[in-house]
Chain A
Amino acid sequence: MQFSLSSSPHNRVRRDTASVMRAVCYACIPGIMAQVWFFGWGVMIQLMLAIATALITEAGIMKLRRRNAKRILSDYSAVLTALLLAVSIPPLAPWWLIVIGTFFSIAIVKQLYGGLGFNMFNPAMGGYVMLLISFPLAMSMWLPVQSMALYPYNLTDALSVIFTGFSVSGYDITQLRLGIDGVTQATPLDAVRSSLLLGETYSEALQAPIFTSESGLSHGWAWVALAYLVGGLFLLWRKFISWHMPISMLAGVILTSGFLNMIMPDASGGVLFHLFSGAVLFGAFFIVTDPVSGSTTPKGRIIFGALIGFWTVIIRTFGGYPDAVAFAVLLMNIAVPLIDYYTQPRTYGARS
């Protein structure tokens, strides 16, 4: 009787790439829910648009490369990229923005480099930075928390704004951005940045209405960040991601912002401000942990994460853009081969 042959090991964990990607998508759910709660249905529509674009783009490219599209699509990596990009752009941004961004992420940043596993830049962040540089105005159209908006919108409004530029009642995006006080709402990062640019001190900047209103916690922004933290802790707990990168990135943010705040307390944000505003918590657990474009050695992961935290605060404080997680990630993506090369672990029995 002949038996079939195979090579050892003959067992494996039942956790494949697709299930890892799916788990990361699920872990985004609390954050997405918080975003919908505070900023309305726009996020959901952006998500649908992004996922549809990503799948169509990926399938099209697989067809061009004569690969089995179904097999590739079922790894959920395109869905995850789309998701990460969709939650990073303003909820009521015009439809073409997310379509262009997702197409760029999948087709250029991911597939032109060889597809999953071969892209040297984080696809979602590549797409995001491309949008930020090309369409700065549209990318800054963030909304106020809906409970405090002058003109709150509903699902039909969201569809209408995204596809036509005007809500059902005829408001355009600039009107939708007005708070109940009739003033355009900025993000906490924008608020601090513009007051610092106007020569105010950091403590004066914190007097802006966004930080002082009764809803507290920067008008929902910090809640969203906390919701992503919950999802991230779930990933850590179930060991889908290793602790190295998120923890070291947060440490990088804390140390750098703490140091800057100490030497120039008036011209830079505090530790908590940096930690809970913008994409830091989201980035630490969902962006920096992208395995493909990150470092793989244990020491390398720590250096990679810490430097992303460092650059994030540095670019936020001295650079031209309010948030900088995406720039910091792309910057460190370039450094990955170098980091990996110099942080090879000590082999058993080798002299270090």
Chain B
Amino acid sequence: MEAFAKIDILDRVDGAAVVEAIKAGQLHDFPGGVHPPEAKLLSNQAPIASMPVPKTLYIPLKQHAGIQGSLAVAVGDKVKKGQPLTHSSHPFAVPVHASTSGTIIEITAHSSAHASGLPESTIILEPDGAEEWHIMPPFDDYRSVEPVKLIERICDAGISGLGGAGFPTHIKTQHDHDVECLIINGIECEPYISSDDRIMREHAWQIKQGIDILRYLVKPKEIIIAIENNKPEAFEALKTACSSDASITMASVPTKYPAGGEKQLIKALTGHEVPRSGLPMDIGCMMFNVGTCFAIADAIIYGKALVQRVVTLTGEALDMPQNVWALLGTPMSDLLSFAKYQPTKQKRHKVIMGGPMMGFAVANDSVPVVKITNCVLVPAADELPDIDDEKPCIRCGYCTDACPAGLLPQQLYWYSKAKDYPKAEEYALADCIECGACAYVCPSEIPLVQYYRQAKAEIKAQLDEQQKSEKAKLRFEQRQARLEADKKAREEKHRKAAEARKAAMENNGGDAKAKIAAALARAKAKKQQAAKATNSDTSSTDNNESSE
């Protein structure tokens, strides 16, 4: 590929050339990357199991990256499975749905499926066990339906990226560019996780249906399904499902973490890079996760909203690691008992939502499964060593060699730690994808990503603060101006009134003077009267004073 040189890697990709190269077995490499133990065999051997319906479901109002909708139900309402619980007209709002039929017993703040574990507004649903569906009318022949209707349905079905980022899917599909490459991401590079692997093995046909719908909506020149080469069964399953379709290209990508990252996969497949602070769209690429394709088919062809997803339950502290279909809102406790969690196998009780590289530890066992929950990892003691004994950075540069974004992690670390944020930004802190490769290889056990996250949050807070103070300044100045104007207006009014009085007085001078004299006399008389009253009756003083 390098022979052609002169190709600007930040330019639009040429779909046909990319597909030709992939078919010839030519893939590209992205910088850095690591090879942590995959540990996928732990969970990917058995078919996806169904779980009994939990006693209580905790459905957070916002489960995607975007805006929270407003409540469409109230406490006490009976809801059906798949019935929307929130609604909004905001383009970045995606509704959430009742994961099963039942009664809403409470709407309250509940531990969130977020690294902070901070409470978030959550609908608490008590299932009635009837599993009664609220089906949206299926589009049997979606090709005869206007794309805009289908996009609306994708939004109504509550679909946001199931790969992990949770970006609203309908936003991506309503585009106005030409798409060269539609990339279906079945990489699943995080160790331990096998939910995409299992769904590809078992539901390749429905994923194909989802891809067909996307093809109708996006009209890409080429479609590429990318699967890491450690999942041969999934690769075969999708290859069989797509065998009749010559326009779909299968790409087997070498196993390397984080090959599944959007930017990294685009680089690996096309050799092009998404420009900084740009989108894949800018170079003619668009990427969807295989799970998202499955959900799109569910929504369009079967009229079902997104109410469940495949979750990998894994780790050596579980006696029965496996993949399950979990209803959104299922609390950790149900998942853990289903997979036979053995707390004694852990020194510190720790449950990770997501994989070992980018997942976060959940705060307690009532944290629910949300749309982005692809894995619940419960490591036994010593299965995954903690990063908890920070030693000085020896500038070994292992992190630089591991960084898939081409950054200098140790420089970012110095500046983040020293709170020198302008410098950290200069070293492209914003381009860090928080994949954890640097902290994984660090021999000094420095929690590098944690430092970056804190720095990023601080930079964001400072920016917010600055915007807020600019707004406050503006409002203060406008208020000052208004008060000034009011004061001027009042003075003007007083001046005019005084002038008018003066003029009137001059017009009939004698009369006015007599009036003033009369008024003075009246006031004097009143005062004398009041004084008399005070002397005669002291108890009335209070009344007098208060009436004044």
List A residues at the B interface (Cβ < 8 Å).
Answer: 1-17, 19-20, 75, 77, 115-118, 242, 291-292, 294, 296-298, 301, 340, 344-351
Contact = CB atoms under 8 A, between A and B. Distances in A.
A348 B350 contact: no
Given A4-B361, A13-B440, A344-B427, A20 B396 contact: yes
Contact of A9 (B349, B362, B401, B439): B439
Interface string B378-405: 0100001111100111111100110011
B263 A8 contact: no
Contact of A349 (B191, B274, B365, B388): B274
Contacts of A5: 115, 117, 361, 363
A8 B357 contact: yes
Contacts of B405: 347-348
Given A17-B444, A344-B427, A11 B394 contact: no
Given A16-B445, A291-B395, A3 B363 contact: yes
Contact of A4 (B278, B349, B377): B349
A243 to B, nearest CB: 11
A10 B361 CA distance: 9
Contacts of A345: 31, 400, 406-408
Interface of B: 10, 30-31, 36-37, 115, 117, 191, 263, 267, 273-276, 278, 333, 348-352, 354, 356-365, 377, 379, 384-388, 391-397, 400-401, 404-408, 410-411, 427-428, 431, 434, 436, 439-445, 447, 449-450, 453
Contact of A17 (B357, B359, B362, B394): B394
Contacts of A75: 391
Given A9-B357, A19-B443, A296-B408, A1 B394 contact: no
Most buried by B among A19, A75, A297, A345: A345
Contacts of B349: 1-4
A198 to B, nearest CB: 44
Nearest to B9: A349
Contacts of B385: 11-12, 14
B397 A301 contact: yes
Given A8-B352, A10-B377, A16-B443, 4 more contacts: A3-B363, A10-B350, A17-B443, A116-B394
Contacts of A19: 443
Most buried by A among B384, B385, B392: B392
Nearest to A10: B356
B401 A349 contact: no
A9 B397 contact: no
A117 B391 CA distance: 9
B482 to A, nearest CB: 47
Contacts of B351: 3
Given A10-B384, A242-B397, A297 B408 contact: yes
Contacts of A298: 397, 400-401
Main secondary structure on A side of the interface with B: loop
Nearest to A9: B436
Most buried by A among B263, B273, B453: B273
A116 B390 CA distance: 13
B2 to A, nearest CB: 15
A348 B263 contact: yes
Given A347-B406, A347-B428, A11 B449 contact: no
A296 B377 CA distance: 35
Contacts of B359: 8, 10
Contacts of B363: 2-3, 5
21 contacts: A3-B362, A7-B450, A8-B436, A9-B356, A9-B436, A10-B352, A10-B357, A10-B386, A11-B191, A12-B385, A12-B387, A12-B441, A13-B443, A16-B443, A117-B392, A117-B444, A118-B392, A291-B397, A296-B400, A297-B400, A348-B30
A157 to B, nearest CB: 39
B212 to A, nearest CB: 31
B408 A344 contact: yes
A349 B379 CA distance: 36
Contact of A348 (B267, B365, B395, B444): B267
A188 B425 CA distance: 52
Most buried by B among A1, A9, A77: A9
B400 A6 contact: no
A4 B37 CA distance: 23
A219 B392 CA distance: 42
B355 to A, nearest CB: 8
Nearest to B386: A6
A1 B365 contact: yes
B358 A8 contact: yes
A117 B434 CA distance: 24
Contacts of B358: 8-9
Given A11-B357, A350-B428, A291 B276 contact: no
Contacts of A347: 276, 405-407, 428, 431
Contacts of B441: 12-13
B333 A3 contact: no
Given A5-B363, A296-B408, A11 B31 contact: no
A14 B361 CA distance: 21
Given A12-B387, A349-B276, A3 B392 contact: no
Nearest to A115: B392
Given A9-B439, A12-B387, A345-B406, A3 B364 contact: yes
A169 B362 CA distance: 74
Contacts of A3: 349-351, 361-365
A114 to B, nearest CB: 8
Contacts of A13: 440-441, 443
A242 B401 contact: yes
A61 B377 CA distance: 44
B10 A349 contact: yes
B361 A294 contact: no
A116 B385 CA distance: 24
Given A3-B363, A4-B361, A349 B400 contact: no
A347 B405 CA distance: 6
Contacts of A301: 397
